[in-house]
Every structure is written in C-alpha cells, then in structure tokens.
Amino acid sequence: ETGVTQTPRHLVMGMTNKKSLKCEQHLGHNAMYWYKQSAKKPLELMFVYNFKEQTENNSVPSRFSPECPNSSHLFLHLHTLQPEDSALYLCASSQRPGLAGVESYNEQFFGPGTRLTVL
C-alpha cells in the first residue's frame, strides 16, 4: 500500500465511450502525475499537476483530458479512444516537486494502475 489509490483497476471500453479514471492520494502531497505504460515500451509521463495547476502536458492527444480539483484527487477523462490507447495507466504523487535544496520532496509514489482495454 503506497497511499495512492486508483479506480477502476480494470476498464474495457469501446471507441465511442466516455469514461474516467480516478486517482486519490492520502500522503498530503502537492503534485500528481499521470503515466502511461504500453506493452514493450517504457513508462511515459503524460501530465503533471503541481498545487492543482497543470504544469506539464507531454504532447498528449486531446482525447485524454485531465482534471485536478484539489491536491488529493486527479482524474483522467477518456473520450473516443483508439485501440492503441490500451495500456496500464498509472497515477503518482510527490510532496513538492522542483523545490530547490529539498530533493527528497521529489520522490514519487505510484498507485496500482488502471488496466485499460479499448475495443
């Protein structure tokens, strides 16, 4: 148990569906992240939120729409996905990224992931 939870754990959806992934962290952190892990590829950073503000969008297609209503919750809204979007989606959090001189605040903790299959 890392203190980061994700729901659902598994999701199967059609290309015309709209669904949302949810992430919640119970660590008192201020930054949250979405990563994508596809088969045979390294984990890729998708989005970063720092104090609820989006600070990074790693050229992610607009069919993925993140939302961060507060520092404890992060959503990933999915719309008209493609079969190649099937992957493990991982959420992470860290205390306070980029704070100079306090490197330990950058340690990231991951949730268990949502395994997404797009038919």
Partner 1 sequence: GIQVEQSPPDLILQEGANSTLRCNFSDSVNNLQWFHQNPWGQLINLFYIPSGTKQNGRLSATTVATERYSLLYISSSQTTDSGVYFCAVGNSGGSNYKLTFGKGTLLTVNP
Binding interface with partner 1 (CB under 8 A): 2, 31, 33, 37, 41-45, 48, 50, 56, 88, 90, 94, 97-98, 103-104, 106-110, 112-113, 115
Which is nearer to partner 1, 78 or 92 (by Cβ)? Answer: 92
**Looking at residue 43, what DSSP letter applies?**
-
The token pair that represents 55 in the structure block = 């600070």
How far apart CA 33 and CA 30 sit, in angstroms, is 10
Which is nearer to partner 1, 75 or 109 (by Cβ)? Answer: 109
Shortest distance, CB of residue 111 to partner 1, whole angstroms? 8
Which is nearer to partner 1, 81 or 90 (by Cβ)? Answer: 90
Residue whose token pair is 């609820």: 52
Shortest distance, CB of residue 4 to partner 1, whole angstroms? 10
The token pair that represents 96 in the structure block = 């306070």
Shortest distance, CB of residue 16 to partner 1, whole angstroms? 26
How far apart CA 63 and CA 37 sit, in angstroms, is 17
Shortest distance, CB of residue 17 to partner 1, whole angstroms? 22
Cβ-contact 65, 56 below 8 angstroms: no
How far apart CA 96 and CA 44 sit, in angstroms, is 20
